[in-house]
Amino acid sequence: MSDGPGGASLHYGNPWADPPQAREPLRRWRGHLVLPVTVWLAGGAAGAGLVGLTVSSLLVGQGEPPVLAGLISPSSELADALSISAQFVVHLVGAGQRRLAQHFAGELPAPPELLASRLSPHGPVLEALNDRIFCRVTSSKPFGWSLLVEAEVADV
């Protein structure tokens, strides 16, 4: 962007991100896949231990019971929350809800009205996102640098 008044300029993006040529090749390749964007929430009522994470690496399998598998960061607050309570809610993020995905990815804060939630038996539910599934962790284990979370889908 061009210099503004006083010679200042605006820069967008993460200034600490590795330049493209320094990024891990497999991660760069994976970034070109068409993936769903979801927000996983666990914890207590809004403002009382609510934790969430944007997750794109996931699979859903039909069956009795239906199952879900996803990759999350083992050092995330969500991983800690799932080790305490196995219940969580997966919200499907639509095209018009990018700000929520960015919020839970730690990129940009979302306005409070987008973060309005209510507590369900499986964890917090974001009012702004209508498409969701309710899950219960059945196992988790290291998977590369990630944590593979496997869960039963209790309700859609």
pLDDT at residue 44 in the model: 58
Confidence of residue 3 (pLDDT cuts 50, 70, 90): very low
pLDDT at residue 13 in the model: 56
Q: What fold, for 17-155?
A: Pnp Oxidase; Chain A (2.30.110)
Do β-strands 146-155 and 132-143 pair in parallel, antiparallel, or remain unpaired? antiparallel
pLDDT at residue 85 in the model: 87
pLDDT at residue 14 in the model: 57
Residue type, 155: D
Do β-strands 51-55 and 38-42 pair in parallel, antiparallel, or remain unpaired? antiparallel
Q: In DSSP terms, which residues pair with 117 in a beta bridge?
A: 126
Say yes or no to pLDDT of 146 above 50: yes
Read off the pLDDT of residues 50-107 as tens digits, 9 standing for 90 and up: 799 999 999 999 999 999 999 999 999 999 999 998 999 999 998 888 899 999 998 8
**Residue spans of alpha helices (H) in 2-156:** 25-30, 77-84, 98-104
Percent with pLDDT over 90 in the chain = 58
Structure tokens that stand for 121 in this block: 């038996």
Is this prediction's pTM over 0.85? no
